[in-house]
C-alpha cells in the first residue's frame, strides 16, 4: 500500500484502539449481546427537557444558525450553573462558548492552543478522542500512567513528564475509563505544577455531576488556575441526552476567543433548538442532580457487586458511567471472545493506553444501563464464570 494511503493521523494513533467501539458494537449486534461497551444511557433524560427542545423547533427558535458563541440564554444558564455549584464566576458575554459536545470543545482547544511539536501531557488511559485531537494539532502526547488497582494520579511522574516543550496538561476528572475522581489534594498538586511551569490546563469535566464517593472539584478553583484553564463540560451525561451534542467551554476571554476561532471553522454552530432546552435543563432544582447521582450509584453497585460475586477483582469507581475489573487474563482476548461465549460486550482497558502492559488484564464495563439490563448481563456472565 502507498504510504500516502495511510493518513498521518492513523500512523500517529497506532496501537490505540480507534476501531474498538465499531468492532465491539458489530459483535454485540451479531451475537445479540448485552452491550456494556459504549457509554450512553438506555433511558432518555427528563421529559420536560425533551419537550422544551420540541417546543423550540415548533416555535422557530434556533432552527436557523444560532449566534457563533451559542445563544445568550444558554451561556447565561451555564454561568449560573457554575456559580450555583462551585462559586465560579464566568461572564456569559465573553467567557463561555457553546460547542458541538465536549468532543468539539476539546478538539478546538487543542487546535487553538497547541503548536506543532508542543508536548501535551495527559493521564493514560485516555478518553479516545484525546490522542487524535493532540495528533490533529501536530502535538506530541506525553502519557502519565494511571495504574490498577486504584488508578490514582502519580504526581511525581507528572512532575517528571514536564519539559520546556510542555504546552498544556489535558485533564479529565471524573475520569473515563477508570472512574477515578481526583481528590482535592491531587488536583491542588497538579494545579501547583501548572502554575510553577506556566502551563495551560484543559480540563474535561463532562462527568461533573456523576460522582458517588468524594466530590467533584473543578481545577479552575485553585489559585492561579482560573486564568490558565480551559474548562470543558457537556449536557450529554448530566441530562442523559448524549445525542444532542451540546457542550461548552469556560475560560478567560483570550482563551475563549482562541478556542472560538478554531471552533468557527469546525462546525461554526450547532444544535440551535437543543441549546434552548439545555438552558432550561441547567436550571433544574438540586433534587434533579442528586436523583440522577443516586440512580447511577445504585446501578454502579449492582454491577460491581455482581462482578465481585463472580470472582473478578473490581475497582469501585468514584464517578462516571464505568467500572473496571481485573479478569485475570489478557483483556483484549477476553473481550473479543466474550460476546460469543457469554452474550456480553465489554471493552479492554489496554486500547486506551500507550503502555500496553499497564493494565493488560483490566476490562471496562458501562453501568449507565437500567438495573434489569445489568442483572441480565450478570446472569449471562454467571453461566460461564
Ligand X SMILES: Cc1ncc(COP(=O)(O)O)c(C=O)c1O
Asked, as a colleague might, if the bond just before 39 is cis with ω within 30 of 0, I would say no
* Least distance to ligand X, CB of residue 21, Å: 10
CA distance 213 to 278: 26
In the set 127, 212, 334, 352, which binds ligand X (CB under 6 A)? Answer: 127
The residue among 252, 254, 270, 253 whose CA lies nearest residue 101 is 270
Does 339 contact ligand X by CB under 6 A? no
The residue among 268, 16, 23 whose CA lies nearest residue 132 is 16
Q: Which is nearer to ligand X, 246 or 381 (CB)?
A: 246
In the set 17, 37, 39, 70, which binds ligand X (CB under 6 A)? Answer: 39
Burial class (CB in 10 A: 0-12, 13-18, 19+), 355: middle
The residue among 103, 102, 81, 108 whose CA lies nearest residue 92 is 81
- Identify any residues that bridge with 301 across adjacent strands, giving them in sequence order: none
CA distance 255 to 242: 26
Q: Which is nearer to ligand X, 102 or 219 (CB)?
A: 102
User: What single DSSP character describes residue 4?
Assistant: G
Q: Which is nearer to ligand X, 102 or 109 (CB)?
A: 102
Residues between 187 and 206 with contacts to ligand X, criterion CB under 6 A: 204, 206
Stretch that binds ligand X, among 5-13, 23-31, 96-104, 339-347 (CB under 6 A): 96-104
Does 242 contact ligand X by CB under 6 A? yes
Q: Which is nearer to ligand X, 207 or 312 (CB)?
A: 207
CA distance 19 to 8: 16
Would you state the cell numbers that stand for residue 36, as one nine-digit string?
Answer: 456494556
Does 103 contact ligand X by CB under 6 A? yes
Q: Which is nearer to ligand X, 345 or 378 (CB)?
A: 345
The residue among 366, 364, 333, 338 whose CA lies nearest residue 349 is 364
Q: Which is nearer to ligand X, 1 or 22 (CB)?
A: 22
Residues between 291 and 330 with contacts to ligand X, criterion CB under 6 A: none
* Least distance to ligand X, CB of residue 241, Å: 10
Maximum Cα interatomic distance, the chain, rounded to a whole number of Å: 58
**Number of residue whose CB is nearest ligand X:** 101
- Tell me the site size for ligand X, rule CB under 6 A: 14
- The site for ligand X (CB under 6 A) is made up of 39, 101-103, 127, 172, 176, 204, 206, 234, 236, 242, 245, 247
Amino acid at each position: 500500500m502507498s504510504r500516502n494511503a495511510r493518513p498521518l493521523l492513523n500512523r500517529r494513533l497506532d496501537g490505540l484502539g480507534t476501531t474498538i467501539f465499531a468492532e465491539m458494537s458489530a459483535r454485540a449486534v451479531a451475537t445479540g449481546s448485552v452491550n456494556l461497551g459504549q457509554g450512553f444511557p438506555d433511558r432518555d433524560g427528563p421529559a420536560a427537557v425533551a419537550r422544551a427542545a420540541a417546543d423550540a423547533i415548533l416555535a422557530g427558535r434556533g432552527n436557523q444558525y444560532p449566534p457563533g458563541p451559542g445563544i445568550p440564554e444558554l451561556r447565561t444558564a451555564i454561568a449560573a450553573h457554575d456559580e450555583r455549584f462551585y462559586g465560579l464566576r464566568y461572564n456569559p458575554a465573553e467567557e463561555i462558548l457553546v460547542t458541538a459536545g465536549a468532543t468539539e470543545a476539546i478538539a478546538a482547544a487543542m487546535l487553538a492552543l497547541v503548536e506543532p511539536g508542543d508536548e501535551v501531557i495527559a493521564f493514560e488511559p485516555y478518553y479516545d478522542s484525546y490522542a487524535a485531537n493532540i495528533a490533529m494539532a501536530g502535538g506530541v502526547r506525553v502519557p502519565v500512567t494511571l495504574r490498577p488497582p486504584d488508578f490514582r494520579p502519580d504526581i511525581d511522574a507528572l512532575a517528571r513528564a514536564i519539559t520546556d516543550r510542555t504546552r498544556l496538561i489535558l485533564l479529565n476528572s471524573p475520569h473515563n475509563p477508570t472512574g477515578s475522581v481526583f481528590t482535592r489534594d491531587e488536583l491542588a498538586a497538579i494545579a501547583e505544577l501548572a502554575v510553577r511551569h506556566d502551563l495551560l490546563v484543559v480540563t474535561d469535566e463532562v462527568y461533573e455531576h456523576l460522582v458517588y464517593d468524594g466530590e467533584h472539584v473543578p481545577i479552575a478553583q485553585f489559585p492561579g488556575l482560573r486564568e490558565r484553564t480551559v474548562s470543558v463540560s457537556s449536557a450529554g451525561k448530566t441530562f442523559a441526552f448524549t445525542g444532542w451534542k451540546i457542550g461548552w467551554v469556560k475560560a478567560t476571554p483570550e482563551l475563549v476567543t482562541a478556542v472560538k476561532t478554531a471552533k468557527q471553522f469546525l462546525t461554526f454552530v450547532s444544535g440551535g433548538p437543543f441549546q434552548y432546552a439545555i438552558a432550561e435543563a441547567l436550571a433544574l432544582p438540586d433534587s434533579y442532580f442528586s436523583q440522577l447521582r443516586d440512580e447511577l450509584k445504585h446501578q454502579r453497585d449492582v454491577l460491581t457487586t455482581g462482578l465481585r460475586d463472580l470472582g473478578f477483582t473490581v475497582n469501585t469507581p468514584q464517578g462516571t458511567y464505568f467500572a473496571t475489573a481485573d479478569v485475570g487474563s489478557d483483556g483484549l482476548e477476553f473481550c473479543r471472545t466474550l460476546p460469543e461465549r457469554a452474550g456480553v460486550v465489554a471493552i479492554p482497558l489496554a486500547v486506551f493506553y500507550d503502555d500496553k502492559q499497564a493494565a493488560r488484564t483490566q476490562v471496562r464495563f458501562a453501568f449507565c444501563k437500567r438495573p434489569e439490563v445489568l442483572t441480565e448481563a450478570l446472569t449471562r456472565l454467571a453461566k460461564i464464570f
